[in-house]
Amino acid sequence: MTEMTNTFTLDGKEIPFREGETIMAAATAAGVYIPHLCHRPGFKPHGSCKLCTVNIDGRPSAACTHLAAAGMRVESETEALNADRRALTQMLFVEGNHICPSCEKSGNCQLQAVAYHLGMSTPHFTHFYPARDVDASHPDVLLDRNRCILCELCVRASRDVDGKNVFGIGGRGIRSRLIVNAASGRLADTGLAVTDRAVAVCPTGALLRKRDGFSVPIGERRYDRHTISDVTTETEEERPRHD
């Protein structure tokens, strides 16, 4: 194992890192939370959600893609950065149909937990209320595009881990949407299995296991009991599904 002899400072704290490690990976290993949605340990950095943008020696960059370097000074928890993150999160809420009180993922939803962490109490922007379809064709998995934030985690998981390439992103700009790689466009006509990594990796309620709803009551779920910054060093595999 590579010796961690180099460090950089993150909000004044010394963070050790290994050669070739990103700022995000090093911070997470040190138990320091940097807000993010499209990032996941074990997946190639994507850098699309921009929530993890930090200031590196005064210049903005994504913590999930920027490699750590000795002596760099990184700022994350600043008023300006968190205001930008809050605005991005507010836009994600209004661009989709995220009705948290009626969502099965409430309390286990990373988007919701990030919003709480950032102090988001209102959507701020006008809701778009886009027309998005629900695909209930699969016997074991529900696809609800109303909750999709286009993080592409399911796309990457299906392609790189499951080896099935079930999902993709179609369209451009505001018309971008999660698509299913089947001639019919139906989830039932793919090789997706309920045990696939692509199902488990979704940070919101876009992909849900059927017949599993509310097995743990709201109020006793992961982010009901712990803030997202408290569980930052854990991966999804290391946690119980509804812890």
Tens digits of residue pLDDT in 30-46: 999 999 999 999 898 88
Whole-number pLDDT of residue 241: 37
Pair 66, 125 in one domain: no
Does the pLDDT of residue 232 top 90, yes or no?
no
Q: Per-residue pLDDT tens for 119-130?
A: 998 888 999 999
Residues 35 and 135 in one domain: no
What are the phi and psi torsion angles at 79 (to 5°)? -60, -40
225 and 148 assigned to the same domain:
yes
Residue 196 half-sphere exposure toward CB, CA atoms < 13 A: 27
User: How distant, in Å, are the alpha carbons of 70, 95, 105, 220 from that of 198?
Assistant: 35, 23, 16, 25
Q: Are residues 134 and 176 in the same domain?
A: yes
Q: For residue 96, what are its two tokens?
A: 């989709």
Give the domain range for residue 46.
7-77
Least-confidence region, from 6-10, 99-103, 238-242: 238-242
Examine the domain organization and report whether 72 and 113 are in the same domain.
Answer: no
**Inside any domain, residue 239:** no
Same domain, yes or no: 33 and 69: yes
pLDDT of residue 213: 87
pLDDT average, residue stretch 207-230: 92
Poorest-confidence range of 50-54, 126-130, 162-166?
A: 126-130
Taking Cα atoms as reference points, which of 164, 209, 156, 159 lies closest to residue 190?
A: 164
* CATH number of the CATH domain containing 11: 3.10.20.740
Query: Do 73 and 107 fall into the same domain?
Result: no
Residue 201: inside a domain, yes or no?
yes
Task: Let me know the angle formed at the C-alpha of 219 by 242 and 106, rounded to the nearest 5 degrees.
Answer: 65
In-domain check, residue 243: no
In a domain, residue 220? The reply is yes
Q: Taking 90 as the threshold, does the pLDDT of residue 174 lie above it?
A: no
Based on the fold, state whether residues 139 and 30 are members of the same structural domain: no
Token couple for 223: 């982010």
Whether the CB-CB separation of 72 and 9 falls below 8 Å is answered with yes
Domain of 184, CATH number, reads 3.30.70.20
Are 119 and 225 part of one and the same domain? yes
pLDDT at 243 over 60: no
- Return the residue matching tokens 């989830």: 187
Number of structural domains in the chain: 2
pLDDT in tens, 183-203: 999 999 999 999 999 999 999
Q: What is the pLDDT of residue 233?
A: 45
Q: What is the structure's pLDDT at 235?
A: 45
Q: Where are the beta strands (DSSP E) in 89-229?
A: 134-135, 141-144, 167-170, 177-180, 207-209
What mean pLDDT is reported for the chain? 92
With a threshold of 0.95, does the pTM exceed it? no
Q: Are residues 227 and 110 in the same domain?
A: yes
